[in-house]
Amino acid sequence: MTFISFEGIDGCGKTTQVELLRSRLESAGAIVIATREPGGTALAEAIRAHLLAASEAVDARAELLLFGAARAQHTTQTIRPALERGDIVLCDRFADSSLAYQGGGLELDSDFITRMNDFATGGLQPDITFLLDLDAAEGLRRRAIQRGEGDRIEERGLEFQRRVREAYLEMARAAPERFVTLNAAAPAKIVHNRIVRALEARYFFQFRKAQKTNA
> Of 182-201, which residues contact ligand Z5A (CB under 6 A)?
184, 187-188, 191
Element (H, E) at 54: none
Is residue 148 a contact partner of residue 24, using CB atoms and an 8 Å limit? no
Strand partners, 7: 131
Radius of gyration of the chain (CA): 17
Per-residue binder mask for ligand Z5A (CB under 6 A), 81-120, x = binder? -----------xx---xx--xx------------------
> Of 132-171, which residues contact ligand Z5A (CB under 6 A)?
142, 146, 151, 153-154
Q: How far is the CB of 53 from ligand Z5A (least distance, A)?
A: 11
Helices (H), the chain: 14-27, 42-53, 60-74, 80-85, 95-98, 110-121, 136-147, 158-174, 188-203, 208-214
Cα→Cα distances 144→31, 139, 151, 208, Å: 34, 9, 11, 37
Contact flag: residue 29 with ligand Z5A (CB under 6 A): no
Nearest CA among 50, 167, 144 for reference residue 97: 167
Q: How far is the CB of 12 from ligand Z5A (least distance, A)?
A: 4
Task: Identify which of residues 93 and 163 has a Cβ nearer to ligand Z5A in the complex.
Answer: 93
Contact flag: residue 7 with ligand Z5A (CB under 6 A): no
Contact flag: residue 62 with ligand Z5A (CB under 6 A): no
Q: Which amino acid is at 144?
A: A
Element (H, E) at 177: none
Task: Identify which of residues 37 and 133 has a Cβ nearer to ligand Z5A in the complex.
Answer: 37
Contact flag: residue 23 with ligand Z5A (CB under 6 A): no
Contact flag: residue 126 with ligand Z5A (CB under 6 A): no
Which positions touch ligand Z5A (CB under 6 A)?
Answer: 10-16, 37-38, 67, 92-93, 97-98, 101-102, 142, 146, 151, 153-154, 184, 187-188, 191
